[in-house]
Structure 1
């Protein structure tokens, strides 16, 4: 059922975005390089469709779990000791998780049905980690998928089906377009040391990772192309590592790609990870900060450990 859902998303996106392409401006294309493979270890299995993850800094991993239809989802809590519990129940289409201090922000309404009908039923919500209370930060969004926060406190959400654009959401809940040259946007991470928003594209002819300059977000961003056909890669969520490189989950290709935004070089660090959806470096008690933790639509959490230097 999960594979059917993924195939349906791909076919739908092909029909809707067949003519969409990332603008061929400021693109870096370098010869692929070899990366030493990272070791795999399954941390957890048996979940539903896992869309995203985030560490709460309290020894827990938060997991955005969806159903095949996108409704009746939840935020699951996985402790470093293997304990499990439900952090937030009854969420339609949970998407990205972004932990900032004592709050775990997450998107809801991340469904293909909302995108295809342009239904603005999506939102950004906040789980207050100290109390467990959930509040609504923003409403009126269409299929908010990825989530990042800009230095001034505004949020940015992505949408990979339909218009596929980025949306900036201010404190007044007013939504405006952001970095309009990008389409079929998905993974988001703000790279603070370099003052830029890193973005992946999913259903474009080529898989692109773009770096949007915060100081000039309307200018065409620097872009790196990941080898392979865009639809067969299906670049999903991403993260920026301590080394400044970007780590992208390629959903359909089933691999994690390392991307150097400065040189344009890319290389796979792990493959054989079907329907990978998101990746984060460990954070908080019990989680290895040097390891990359990967979720999948097959309901697994995998730890990737880099080779010894």
Structure 2
């Protein structure tokens, strides 16, 4: 029988805590009234769901390779899936790889079981280089080259909020957002967005004053379990609801949301990460899930999915 991974235990804890939690996260200053408002969701339209690759390990995260393919993190492996859907293993025997970020030919990734940050030159066969202890789950490279990470706190040790890696120096709790999971950069590069696995809240963190973060809304339902998110150039967030098995579009300006796709292997095998990537001459959402599948979500006509420019 397969033992539960750290990540699966995290989600089990999320259910237990959420069932007994009545107080949502509160930022250092005022919380947006959208955090508790009940807004009617907008209509997302008819999105197509396609399978790109399947039969892989429990997938945690993905990162576009700039050539129509993706890097994926599994239980113990880092994969590469090319534009034609061909899969190869880039690294094996890895200690629970998490967030992935590509800078040129350098792939940064986190290992959650030993709390380290690594860099891998994707053009050579050299082993990855450790950059130091840096506990984290979600990972985001900022335009200035700094790295941000999230650490929800249920995979060992307390929540560290958002931490920042700058020139070899780690600032833990750079933003004291509790229970953060995913990270997405705003189109104006002035803020990042993150999500709360337990409460379903979506949080905006200004980069110039990170502890003045605000809750801009939440996903509907009792326990959607937001796991990761990405942002389009037009300012819309796309959020994976892991436990619900859905992907939402969320407007951080109004708090309104709608379901892009549902029934994506919910519960413990649900969607874990989402990114915007090319689909021919247009764009689509690409979603990993714990069922070992990479899916492509193709939007209806008129939806602008252009990614945030770095």
Q: Report the alpha carbon displacement of residue 78 of structure 1 after superposing the two structures with TM.
A: 1.2
Question: Is residue 57 of structure 2 the alignment partner of residue 35 of structure 1?
Answer: no
CA RMSD, Structure 1 to Structure 2 (Å): 2.5
Q: Map 1:6-45; keep pairs closer than 5 Å.
A: 8-13=9-14, 21-23=24-26, 25-28=31-34, 29=37, 30-45=39-54
Q: 1:74 touches 1:86 (CA, 8 Å); kept in 2?
A: yes
Query: What is residue 47 of structure 1 aligned with on the other side?
Result: 56
Question: Is residue 122 of structure 2 the alignment partner of residue 129 of structure 1?
Answer: yes
Q: Map 1:230-245; keep pairs closer than 5 Å.
A: 232-245=223-236
Q: Report the alpha carbon displacement of residue 81 of structure 1 after superposing the two structures with TM.
A: 1.9
Secondary structure of 1:174's aligned partner: strand
Of the three residues 96, 100, 103, the one matched with 2:103 is 100
Q: 1:169 to 1:194 in 2, by over 3 A?
A: closer
Q: Report the alpha carbon displacement of residue 134 of structure 1 after superposing the two structures with TM.
A: 4.4
Q: Report the alpha carbon displacement of residue 159 of structure 1 after superposing the two structures with TM.
A: 1.3
Query: What is residue 69 of structure 1 aligned with on the other side?
Result: none
Q: Report the alpha carbon displacement of residue 225 of structure 1 after superposing the two structures with TM.
A: 1.1
Secondary structure of 2:193's aligned partner: strand
After alignment, is 248-257 or 125-134 more displaced? 125-134
Q: Report the alpha carbon displacement of residue 42 of structure 1 after superposing the two structures with TM.
A: 1.1
Q: 1:13 touches 1:161 (CA, 8 Å); kept in 2?
A: no
Q: Map 1:19-168; keep pairs closer than 5 Å.
A: 21-23=24-26, 25-28=31-34, 29=37, 30-66=39-75, 73-109=76-112, 111=113, 121-136=114-129, 138-142=131-135, 144-162=136-154, 163-164=158-159, 165-168=161-164
Q: Output the TM-score relative to the length of structure 2.
A: 0.83
Unaligned runs of 5+ in 2: 303-310
Q: Report the alpha carbon displacement of residue 220 of structure 1 after superposing the two structures with TM.
A: 2.8
Q: 1:2 touches 1:297 (CA, 8 Å); kept in 2?
A: no
Q: 1:2 to 1:295 in 2, by over 3 A?
A: farther
Q: Output the TM-score relative to the length of structure 1.
A: 0.83
CA shift digits 1:206-245 (9 cap, x unpaired): 201111111111113242211112xx21111111123321
Query: What is residue 189 of structure 1 aligned with on the other side?
Result: 184
Question: Is residue 206 of structure 2 the alignment partner of residue 213 of structure 1?
Answer: yes
CA shift digits 1:248-278 (9 cap, x unpaired): 1111100001011112211111111120111
Report how many aligned residue pairs link the two structures.
Answer: 285
After alignment, is 298-307 or 22-31 more displaced? 22-31
Of the three residues 204, 228, 245, the one matched with 2:221 is 228
Supply the distance in 1 between the matched residues of 2:83 and 2:229 (Cα, whole angstroms): 22
Supply the distance in 2 between the matched residues of 1:216 and 1:192 (Cα, whole angstroms): 17
CA shift digits 1:287-308 (9 cap, x unpaired): 6641111111001111111112
Of the three residues 244, 250, 255, the one matched with 1:264 is 255
Supply the distance in 2 between the matched residues of 1:136 and 1:192 (Cα, whole angstroms): 31
Secondary structure of 2:283's aligned partner: coil
After alignment, is 266-275 or 234-243 more displaced? 234-243
Q: 2:203 touches 2:213 (CA, 8 Å); kept in 1?
A: no
Query: What is residue 255 of structure 1 aligned with on the other side?
Result: 246
Q: Report the alpha carbon displacement of residue 137 of structure 1 after superposing the two structures with TM.
A: 5.4
Supply the distance in 2 between the matched residues of 1:2 and 1:36 (Cα, whole angstroms): 39
CA shift digits 1:164-208 (9 cap, x unpaired): 32212221333321221x2111001222424111101102xx201
Unaligned runs of 5+ in 1: 67-72, 112-120
Of the three residues 273, 281, 284, the one matched with 1:278 is 273
